[in-house]
Chain A
Amino acid sequence: EPEVTQTPSHQVTQMGQEVILRCVPISNHLYFYWYRQILGQKVEFLVSFYNNEISEKSEIFDDQFSVERPDGSNFTLKIRSTKLEDSAMYFCASSEWPLLGQFFGPGTRLTVL
């Protein structure tokens, strides 16, 4: 069964450093998403992406965040200058169409020291 994959599974970084989280969505899906889950809290929407541009973003997704689809398979989330409060599990998701269920990857646990 096709699945969304994410790398790395765990990333440790120093405050102020840049990190890139990588995702490979399901191949025939056209809509891509990033969510995050701070430990013990709700899953929060960050951004959605379609046709090589951002379709929606939350207030969390400020100027330090960016997304990119550098090739036909990868979808990346870049955090330019990490803060302690960016420590969370980051989930990538994809869907074939909007308004359908989203398929989530296993997540990348980001720890900012």
Chain B
Amino acid sequence: SQQGEEDPQALSIQEGENATMNCSYKTSINNLQWYRQNSGRGLVHLILIRSNEREKHSGRLRVTLDTSKKSSSLLITASRAADTASYFCATVTSGSARQLTFGSGTQLTVLP
């Protein structure tokens, strides 16, 4: 798979449930970031986790990073209809301070 591949590709849940999305990558990274994109709109930065961190929280978001497995997960707790969007992981490769390499994203649908 390519750098920054998310699974599942699509996820549909009921409001109030938790949503978990996974991301795998191939190269050594400096940090990994998660972004949200509402249909036809720009990307919104959600959370950043550095390569020396294992877990990070921000509000209803929880991100984990396992550098030995080259994988990350994003957990959204108590989901809301407004969380419906595409979620992308993006990596900053070690040695590069500039470019984000995006995955193909998970389309999350939260049903009211």
Contacts and interface: CB of A to CB of B under 8 A. Distances in A.
Interface of A: 4, 31, 33, 35, 41-45, 48, 50, 55-56, 58, 91, 93, 98-107
A91 B99 contact: no
B92 A48 contact: no
A105 B41 CA distance: 9
B61 interface: no
Nearest to B35: A104
Judged by DSSP, the binding face of B is strand
Interface string B24-59: 000000110101000001111100100000000000
Interface stretch (B14-22, B62-70, B101-109): B101-109
A41 B88 CA distance: 12
B75 interface: no
Contact of A99 (B44, B92, B103): B92
Interface residues of B, number: 24
B98 A33 contact: yes
A56 B98 contact: yes
A104 B42 contact: yes
Contacts of A105: 42
Contacts of B31: 99
